Structures are given as C-alpha cells and as structure tokens.
C-alpha cells in the first residue's frame, strides 16, 4: 500500500521555489530527492547544494524539487513530470534512479540530466558522485585507534558497490593501526528509517561494538551511541548536535559547488555528459571537525586527510587482498582503478562476513 502512496505524496509535495512568473531567460532546473528535505542526511545535503546554487545564480534559474520519491520504476513518473513541465536540467539524486533517468532521458533528448552515484551515461545524461570512501578510510583509521573492544559496528543500507566500497575502505583504514580489527555489519535494506536504524545500532552495541558507523541517513544511530556512552561517526552531514560527546567526525557531502558548475555550464551551452567523481581534494567530500579523540589520534586523522588530498595516499592502494586470500588485480597501476571501486562486489580480507545475496 505504501508503494502507491509515496508517489502520490510526492506529487502533493511538489514545491516550486523562486519567483512566480517564469521569464523566458530563466532556466528551469529540477531536483528529484529520495527522502524529505528535512532528513538531516542525504537529501538535506542535496537541498543545501541546491540552495547554494540558487543563491549564486539568483534570477537566472528557477528550481523545483520533488521529495520523498521512492527508488525504482515509480520514480520514472516523477522524473518525467519535471521533464514535461519545461525543466531543462534535471538532477536525480539517488542510485536507484539510474535506469528511470536513462529511460526518461531517451524520450527527451533535448533535456540535460545529471544522475548522482550511478555509472550509466548517455548523450544527455551525465553522472556525478563523491569519493566518500576517502572519508571512510579516515574514519577507519580513527576507529582502529579508538576502539577498545576491537569491534566496530557498521549499519549498512543496500549491498551496492558504493556501500561495499565504504565498508572495505573503513576496514583498510582501521587495519593500518590495528591489524586485528573486527567489524559487525547489519544491512537494514533502507536508506531512511530512524526506528530501524536505532534498532540496528542497539543490536550492534549489545553485541560488543564500541564504535558505530552508518551508511544510512538519519542521526538515530548517533543518539543510540550517545545513550550507550560509546562513540560514533555521523553521516552525510555534521551530526555533532546529536552527539556532542559522541561524534568523532562525519563525512559531509558538499554538492553546492558541483550544482553551481553544472548549471552554469548548462546556461552557457558548454554542458557535456561527464562522469564527475570528486573527493576530499575537490571539496565535494568534507570531514567534520575531529572531536572526542586524543590529540595524537586527531593528528593522525588530519595527516591521513592531508595525504589523501595531496594524492600521496590512496585508500585502495595495491596490494588489496580479498576474503579468499587472493590479491585483487590492480588495474590502476598502483591502486584499484575507478571502475573497480565503482563496481566493487567483494569484501577485503579481515571482514568476517558475507555480502548478502552473494
């Protein structure tokens, strides 16, 4: 029943921002959001990015967003709704919109599409994402240093390459300071369900994890960690408010500069369907302040961040050893290449678990 309701709710939630009458010179830019704009996580950060872009470009653009659009076939209707109503540039901001975006793009070849975190492109579909695993690697280093029990708790969403790469990067980072680090992984099969995220966080804490990290979007796990007196990493945005004595740091998704760049390109006609994958260096991925850790750990975290930015450290530098003990082919010379990371479907050695469905 819920399945039918969400697109309905999304249609109702259609929010047109900007000035009323649309002058011919204004370009209409649309956004498709996965969650509510107030989720304080994934969608919230895209919304901040949109706001920043609007602030910079002022009356050159008129933007529309649709929130609570569930992934999969249902999203096609919502994307097409934006295409039909004169939007010339449409950002679809979640992995599950990949095929629907391509289908709509085929029908509307003159409209430009930008799909976040996907890997399929077309003459009018570009992709963009952040190298979030760089931040996860730093979190791994911190977690390896800070964990007393030697067990980390990881709340994962869906077994897609991005999430798996995040788990691997975390454990690779942690192994550099504690070779025996263990990780317990719970897949909740949702991006956003505060109750379920809290339940998973409790289960992990009950089973001895003393540092929680998540690839889901709400601050629920941070609050559970705060209640239990253990430590945690925020996700998507700085969640320090929910755990002033709990948060170690948080990966902060910074989409604004990219939305500005892509929209400007569309305005001046230089837009091309590119594959943008920026990280800490380009500031698409930021780290929240390092807190609740001793100075030496903080220094180590800062040095790791600096090394990644300088390009002297790659989280997936070879050799990478898989769970089967065999070395993974090193297609990028000194590190795994982008394709291997974006299509990652194996766990590295040291993770005592199986990828669901494999």
Partner 1 sequence: MGLVEAIILSVIAASTPLLLAAAGELIVERAGVLNLGVEGMMIMGAACGFAGCWLTGSAFLGALFGIAAGMALAAIFGLMTLTLAVNQVATGLALTILGVGLSGLIGAGFVGERITPAAALYIPYLTGIPFIGRILFGQDGFVYVSIALVIGIWFFLYRTRGGLILRAIGDSHTSAHALGYPVLTVRWMAVLFGGGCAGLAGAFLPLAYTPFFIPGMTAGRGWIALALVVFASWRPGRLVAGAYLFGAVTILQLHAQAFGLGIPSQLMTALPYLATIVVLVLISRTRNAAGSAAPASLGMVFVPDR
Residues that bind partner 1 (CB under 8 A): 1-2, 5, 8-9, 12-13, 35-36, 38-40, 68, 153, 159, 184-190, 192-200, 202-204, 206-207, 209, 218-220, 223, 241-242, 352-354, 356-357
Closest separation in Å from C-beta 257 to partner 1 = 24
- 45 — phi, psi (to 5°)? -70, -35
DSSP string, 282-336: TTSEEE----SS-HHHHHHHHHHHHHHHHTS--TTBSP-BBTTSPBPP-TTSSB-
Distances (CA, A) of 199 to 202, 205, 222: 5, 10, 12
- 8-state DSSP, 352: -
Instruction: Quote the tokens at residue 263.
Output: 């929209």
Closest separation in Å from C-beta 196 to partner 1 = 7
> Any long-range contacts for 264-268 (C-beta under 8 Å, 24+ apart)?
264/57, 266/27, 266/29, 266/88, 266/89, 266/112, 267/27, 267/57, 267/60, 267/61
Q: Name the residue nearer to partner 1 (CB basis): 113 or 187.
A: 187
Closest separation in Å from C-beta 215 to partner 1 = 13
Q: Name the residue nearer to partner 1 (CB basis): 187 or 316.
A: 187
Closest separation in Å from C-beta 335 to partner 1 = 29
Residues 153/188, Cβ–Cβ less than 8 Å: no
Q: Name the residue nearer to partner 1 (CB basis): 204 or 320.
A: 204
Closest separation in Å from C-beta 310 to partner 1 = 35
Q: Name the residue nearer to partner 1 (CB basis): 144 or 219.
A: 219
Nearest to 319 by CA among 307, 309, 331: 331
Closest separation in Å from C-beta 350 to partner 1 = 13
Radius of gyration for the chain, computed over Cα atoms and rounded to the nearest angstrom = 20
**319 upstream amide cis, omega within 30 of 0:** yes
Q: Name the residue nearer to partner 1 (CB basis): 250 or 340.
A: 250
Closest separation in Å from C-beta 146 to partner 1 = 20
Q: Name the residue nearer to partner 1 (CB basis): 134 or 197.
A: 197
Residue the block writes with tokens 């961040």: 305
Closest separation in Å from C-beta 353 to partner 1 = 5
Q: Residues for the chain: how many in total?
A: 358
Closest separation in Å from C-beta 75 to partner 1 = 16
Q: Name the residue nearer to partner 1 (CB basis): 44 or 113.
A: 44
Q: Name the residue nearer to partner 1 (CB basis): 51 or 276.
A: 51
Give the integer Cα–Cα distance in Å for 274 and 272: 6
Q: Name the residue nearer to partner 1 (CB basis): 89 or 351.
A: 351
Residue the block writes with tokens 């390092």: 290
Q: Given CA atoms 243, 253, 215, 78 in this order, what sign does their dihedral have? A: positive
């Amino acid at each position: 029943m819920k399945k039918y309701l969400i697109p309905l709710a999304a249609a109702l939630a259609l929010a047109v921002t900007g000035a009323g009458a649309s002058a011919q010179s204004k370009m209409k830019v649309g956004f498709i959001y996965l969650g509510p704009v107030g989720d304080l996580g994934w969608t919230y950060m895209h919304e901040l990015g949109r706001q920043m872009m609007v602030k910079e470009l002022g009356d050159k653009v008129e933007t529309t967003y649709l929130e609570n659009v569930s992934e999969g076939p249902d999203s096609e209707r919502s994307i097409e709704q934006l295409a039909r109503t004169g939007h010339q540039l449409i950002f679809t901001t979640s992995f599950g919109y990949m095929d629907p975006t391509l289908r709509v793009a085929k029908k509307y070849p003159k409209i430009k599409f930008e799909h976040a975190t996907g890997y399929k492109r077309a003459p009018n579909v570009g992709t963009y994402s952040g190298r979030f695993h760089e931040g996860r690697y730093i979190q791994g280093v911190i977690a390896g240093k800070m964990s007393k029990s030697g067990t980390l708790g990881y709340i994962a969403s869906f077994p897609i390459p991005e999430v798996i790469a995040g788990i691997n990067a975390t454990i690779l980072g942690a192994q550099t300071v504690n070779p025996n680090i263990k990780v317990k992984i719970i897949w909740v099969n949702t991006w956003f369900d505060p109750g379920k995220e809290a339940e998973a966080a409790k289960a992990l804490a009950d089973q001895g994890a003393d540092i929680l990290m998540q690839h889901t979007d709400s601050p629920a796990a941070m609050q559970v960690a705060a209640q239990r007196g253990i430590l945690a990493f925020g996700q998507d945005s700085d969640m320090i408010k929910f755990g002033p004595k709990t948060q170690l740091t948080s990966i902060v998704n910074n989409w604004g500069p990219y939305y500005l760049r892509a929209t400007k390109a569309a305005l001046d006609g230089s837009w091309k369907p590119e594959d943008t994958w920026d990280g800490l260096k380009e500031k698409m991925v930021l780290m929240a302040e390092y807190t609740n850790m001793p100075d030496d750990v903080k220094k180590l975290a800062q040095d790791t961040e600096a090394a990644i930015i300088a390009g002297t450290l790659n989280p997936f530098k070879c050799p990478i050893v898989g769970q089967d003990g065999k070395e993974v082919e090193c297609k990028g010379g000194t590190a795994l290449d982008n394709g291997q990371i974006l299509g990652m479907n194996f766990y590295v050695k040291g993770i005592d678990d199986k990828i669901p469905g494999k």
